[in-house]
Amino acid sequence: MILVVGAKGMLGQDLMRVLPGDVRGVDIEEIDITSPESVRRVLLTLKPRVVVNCAAYTDVDGCETNVDLAMRVNGDGVGHLAAATREIGALLVQVSTDYVFDGTKGTPYVEDDRVNPLSVYGKSKLVGEKKARENPDHLIVRTQWLYGHGGKNFVETMLRLAGERTEIAVVDDQIGSPTWTADLSLAITELIENNCRGTYHAANRGTCSWYEFARAIFAEAGVGMTVRPQSTEELGRPAPRPLYSVLDCDKLTHDAGLELEDWREALKNYLERRQPAVRS
Ligand SMILES: NC(=O)C1=CN([C@@H]2O[C@H](COP(=O)(O)OP(=O)(O)OC[C@H]3O[C@@H](n4cnc5c(N)ncnc54)[C@H](OP(=O)(O)O)[C@@H]3O)[C@@H](O)[C@H]2O)C=CC1
Ligand SMILES: Cc1cn([C@H]2C[C@H](O)[C@@H](COP(=O)(O)OP(=O)(O)O[C@H]3O[C@@H](C)C(=O)[C@@H](O)[C@H]3O)O2)c(=O)[nH]c1=O
């Protein structure tokens, strides 16, 4: 059985749809990953052969002020999962982020590039990666700029703002690859099915700035909106973010035989299938 932890989150919901075979999901009501007792109780009862951890504290700016919570959920919580999966002989799949990089490389990041997170969120996720490795049977999947059904994300934010105003300013100096959670779920499935272990990058193909992404969202959705470029400095958000965090996904293609579709195709497919968000 495959157990998805954080099954009600944005990625968790798509994983529950995409993962094959006997799949169960738990979220904060059944398991609190900050509690070693809670984690051990659930895992020793259910005895899954694979645990995919999607539970996290994902409010990047919120992490800057709630440092302790960020570390307990994104760092220590993964340690508790690593210990319990190790005890029952299960594979731990940990989802991580491009924000473990500082964005200064200038070309796509490969898996063993130097990490140097800028934000509390990035630092806490890096602790999570280190903790995941405490179970030798682990798979760390770094991804980025996620959007999907039933989640708070950039695409849904843009579409909501389209109903409230006619002009918006969006940063044009951060470059990455927007990634649809349905496509990422396919990548995670293939990595598991191909018995891959260690660290992998998985994102939709192609790159853009958030500004270009916003323009594509409005164009694809057929919404009239003036999008004005602005710099990260002008925006002045609390958390520093990497300026260039494109992930090189060649290892995924080589080992799992999968290349994710281009981000524009993925966006089109998402918007065609989009239903109103289950949770906002
Ligand atoms: N969103 C993105 O752009 C990116 C996300 N990632 C990573 O991908 C993974 C999935 O992200 P995403 O789907 O966006 O996350 P979400 O924030 O949508 O979902 C996380 C889920 O975890 C739950 N949760 C929070 N704290 C705990 C806890 N202590 N114990 C158990 N469950 C808890 C949340 O519950 P509640 O909502 O009630 O708090 C929520 O259901 C995360 O590891 C994230 O760091 C990586 C790159 C990009
Ligand atoms: C809503 C909005 C955002 N922005 C900027 C802020 C930020 O730099 C960028 C994206 O904003 P968001 O708050 O959606 O994104 P952010 O929270 O930085 O997204 C990150 O989430 C975590 C969980 C990850 O792991 C990352 O890969 C990444 O997806 O766009 C604007 O410039 N204008 C706007 O109106």
> For residues 119 and 63, is the Cβ–Cβ distance under 8 A?
yes
CA distance 279 to 160: 14
What pLDDT does residue 276 have?
Answer: 55
pLDDT at 31: 98
pLDDT at 280: 31
Q: Tell me how crowded residue 70 is: count the other CB atoms within 10 A of its CB.
A: 26
What are the pLDDT digits (tens) for 95-138?
999 999 999 999 999 999 999 999 999 999 999 999 999 999 99
**∠ CA 123-90-48 to the nearest 5 degrees?**
110
Pocket flag, ligand 2, residue 98 (CB < 6 Å):
yes
The residue whose two tokens read 């520093």 is 240
- The total of other beta-carbon atoms located within 10 Å of residue 117's CB is 20
Would the CB of 10 count as within 6 Å of ligand 1? yes
pLDDT of the residue at 278: 40
Tokens describing residue 271: 């918007």
Q: Is 145 in the pocket of ligand 1 (CB under 6 A)?
A: yes
Q: Say yes or no to pLDDT of 275 above 80.
A: no
Report the atom number in ligand 2 closest to the C-alpha of 232: 8
pLDDT digits (tens, 9 = 90+) for 187-230: 999 999 999 999 999 999 999 999 999 999 999 999 999 999 99
Would you say residue 33 has pLDDT above 90?
yes
Residue in 154, 164, 237 to alter for ligand 2 test, most ligand atoms within 8 A of Cβ: 154
Closest CA to 56 of 36, 86, 76, 29: 76
Whether 241 is in the pocket of ligand 1, judged by its Cβ within 6 Å, is no
Measured distance CA(103)–CA(7) in Å, rounded: 30
Cα–Cα distance measured from residue 97 to residue 92, given in angstroms and rounded to the nearest whole number: 16
Q: List residues bridging with 229 in a β-sheet.
A: 170
Whether residue 153 contacts residue 266, with contact meaning beta carbons closer than 8 Å, is answered with: no
Q: Which among 220, 247, 280 has a CA at the least distance from the CA of 142?
A: 247
- pLDDT value for 274: 85
Ligand nearest to the CA of 151: 1
User: 277 pLDDT exceeds 90?
Assistant: no
Residue with tokens 């809670």: 38
CA of 155 to the centre of ligand 2 (A): 10
Atom of ligand 2 nearest to the CA of 125: 25
- Give the pLDDT confidence of 144-189 residue by residue, as tens digits: 999 999 889 999 999 999 989 999 999 999 999 999 999 999 999 9
Centre of ligand 2 from the C-alpha of residue 126, in Å: 19
Percent of the chain predicted with pLDDT > 90:
96
User: Which CATH number applies to 2-153+177-207+246-263?
Assistant: 3.40.50.720
Is the CB of 202 within 6 Å of ligand 1?
Answer: no
Which residue is closest in CA terms to ligand 2's atom 33?
170
- Cβ(110) to ligand 1 under 6 A? no
**How confident is the model over 252-269, as pLDDT tens digits?**
999 999 999 999 999 999
Least confident of 1-5, 176-180, 275-279: 275-279
For 87, the token pair is: 């005890």
* Ligand 2 atom showing the smallest separation from residue 211 Cα: 32
pTM: 0.97
The catalytic site residues sit at 121
Structure-token pair, residue 83: 């210990």
Mean pLDDT of the chain: 96
Q: Are 79 and 40 in contact (CB under 8 A)?
A: no
